[in-house]
């Protein structure tokens, strides 16, 4: 398996989220236990969303640089982009001032719930941010890797991230709901599709009581980020190992 395979959801493994969600396992132990997941498809044959492969990709960072993934993204991305309200762990949110509380339905009404610590799957989605900070990330993507005149990512890397790597089949329900969508695919960490002749590059994510959606329309240099502190309880349609 290559790094590209880790980032394009074609490992052949089902999600396996019960390995990390609300478990005591650290990053290394989550990866060690992946060996017990039975493949759901043959390798590189189909799209199958897999958070743990993003953890595996993130763990390459300390192996190569000697820095943790958390420190690396802080120094290489957050700081140059001026994302001062962004971090990689809920453990730093206590006492951080104006911080949103997650909300989920409890006893028939939306109520505050605790922040879910997902440090053990960090590279797959532990980043906490704000609309303002996320706007800077959008500017970097729409700028082809350049932010305020400084190149942080190569133009070739951004093009490759936004290019189709794994085809996602469009089922009949999706055809009826979104008749203007003619293709769906996954790039390097981005979901790709089209809408009325425009290419869309985006991604969503959710954890207990929190949801996020980022969408880019590169041709129009348009980017939208939506952050919400409410949602349904997590539904883990996976097997525990």
**pLDDT of res. 97:** 81
Average pLDDT for residues 171-189, to the nearest whole number? 94
Average pLDDT for residues 141-164, to the nearest whole number? 98
Under a CB-based contact definition with an 8 Å cutoff, are residues 168 and 185 in contact?
yes
**Predicted confidence band of residue 232 (pLDDT cuts 50, 70, 90):** low
Count Cβ atoms within 10 A of the Cβ of residue 175 and give its class: 0-12 exposed, 13-18 middle, 19 or more buried: exposed
**pLDDT of res. 145:** 98
Average pLDDT for residues 117-143, to the nearest whole number? 97
Contacts of 109 (CB under 8 A, 6+ apart): none
128 phi and psi angles, rounded to 5 deg? -105, 130
Bridge partners of residue 88, in order along the sequence: none
Length of the chain: 241
Does residue 233 register a pLDDT over 90?
A: no
Average pLDDT for residues 3-9, to the nearest whole number? 97
Q: pLDDT tens digit string along 190-225?
A: 999 999 999 999 999 999 999 999 999 999 999 999
Q: pLDDT tens digit string along 9-59?
A: 999 999 999 999 999 999 999 999 999 999 999 999 999 999 999 999 999
- State whether residue 159 is helix, strand or coil: helix
Q: What is the pTM of this model?
A: 0.91
**Predicted confidence band of residue 94 (pLDDT cuts 50, 70, 90):** confident
**pLDDT of res. 225:** 97
Taking the C-alpha atoms of residue 199 and residue 219, their distance in angstroms, rounded to an integer, is: 8
Under a CB-based contact definition with an 8 Å cutoff, are residues 16 and 239 in contact?
yes
Under a CB-based contact definition with an 8 Å cutoff, are residues 96 and 136 in contact?
no
Count of other CB atoms within 10 angstroms of residue 10: 24
Taking the C-alpha atoms of residue 201 and residue 226, their distance in angstroms, rounded to an integer, is: 14
């Amino acid at each position: 398996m290559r790094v590209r395979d880790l980032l394009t959801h074609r490992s052949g493994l089902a999600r396996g989220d019960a390995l990390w969600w609300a478990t005591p396992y650290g990053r290394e132990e989550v990866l060690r236990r992946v060996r017990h997941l039975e493949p759901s498809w043959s390798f590189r044959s189909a799209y199958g969303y897999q958070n743990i492969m993003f953890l595996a990709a993130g763990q390459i960072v300390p192996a190569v640089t000697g820095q943790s993934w958390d420190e690396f993204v802080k120094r290489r991305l957050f700081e140059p982009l001026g994302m001062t309200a962004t971090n990689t762990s809920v453990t730093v949110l206590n006492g951080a001032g104006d911080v949103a509380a997650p909300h989920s339905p409890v006893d028939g009404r939306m109520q505050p719930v605790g922040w879910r610590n997902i440090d053990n799957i960090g590279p797959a989605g532990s980043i906490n941010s704000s609309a303002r900070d996320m706007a800077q990330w959008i500017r970097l993507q729409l700028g082809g890797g350049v932010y305020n005149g400084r190149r942080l990512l190569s133009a070739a890397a951004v093009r490759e991230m936004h290019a189709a790597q794994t085809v996602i089949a469009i089922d009949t329900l999706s055809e009826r709901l979104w008749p203007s969508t003619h293709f769906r695919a996954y790039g390097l960490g981005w979901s790709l599709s089209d809408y009325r002749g425009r290419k869309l590059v985006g991604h969503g994510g959710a954890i207990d009581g929190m949801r996020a959606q980022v969408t880019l329309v590169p041709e129009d240099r348009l980017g939208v980020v939506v952050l919400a502190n409410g949602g349904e309880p997590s539904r883990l349609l996976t097997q525990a190992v």
